[in-house]
Amino acid sequence: MAQTYLLFDFGPDEEKVQEARHKLERWKQAFRLDKKLQYKLEREQADESAPAEVEPEAESAKAGKSEKSKPSKSKSKSKTSKSESDDTANDNHGPVKLLVRLYFSGHEKLSEQRWIDRIPTEEPFKSASPKMVREDEPGFAEIIKQFDSLE
């Protein structure tokens, strides 16, 4: 099976990253590409983000304690503290890179080529400086290691 990786560098623009992620998810569901189209995000943390990540954990621990005593009201509190922690975490992120793996079998060459042509021309991906790496190109082994190391 042939593997092709598409690399996109979105910079600090979190909205574009989320738009691209949602678009990939829609394609996976609509065209049944579960194993054939996979993606992972690589986020480089800003230097100031380390202290900010500790504070939301403390807030969630407090919300967990109050949840035991007041179950009806604490659910809404935990949702708001969770959304606040997501907002603060998103503000502190540095550049974001999106790695997309296309994994088609040998008899699906036409489908693979269509996706290779389509993805970089769609709106959120255009401005992210797309780069394609195929199996026979140098640096392919590094991309596989990078993709596998991400969650």
Q: What is the pLDDT of residue 55?
A: 39
**CA dist., res. 43 & res. 18, Å (int):** 13
Q: Which of 37-51, 80-94, 102-116 has the highest mean pLDDT?
A: 102-116
Q: What is the pLDDT of residue 93?
A: 64
Q: Please, which pLDDT band fits residue 1 given cuts at 50, 70 and 90?
A: confident
Q: What is the pLDDT of residue 45?
A: 77
Q: Confirm if 142 and 28 have CB atoms less than 8 A apart.
A: no
Closest CA to 64 of 72, 52, 74: 74
> For the chain, what percent of residues have pLDDT higher than 70?
68
Q: Which helix (H) or strand (E) holds 141?
A: helix 140-149
Single pTM value for the model? 0.69
Closest CA to 60 of 83, 87, 28: 83
Q: Please, which pLDDT band fits residue 82 given cuts at 50, 70 and 90?
A: very low
92 Cβ partners below 8 Å, 6+ apart? 45, 46, 48, 49, 52, 53
Q: Please, which pLDDT band fits residue 84 given cuts at 50, 70 and 90?
A: very low
Q: What is the pLDDT of residue 151?
A: 79
pLDDT tens, residue by residue, 22-81: 999 999 999 999 999 999 999 987 655 444 443 334 344 444 444 444 444 444 444 444
Mean pLDDT of 73-98: 56
Q: What is the pLDDT of residue 53?
A: 40
Q: What is the pLDDT of residue 46?
A: 64
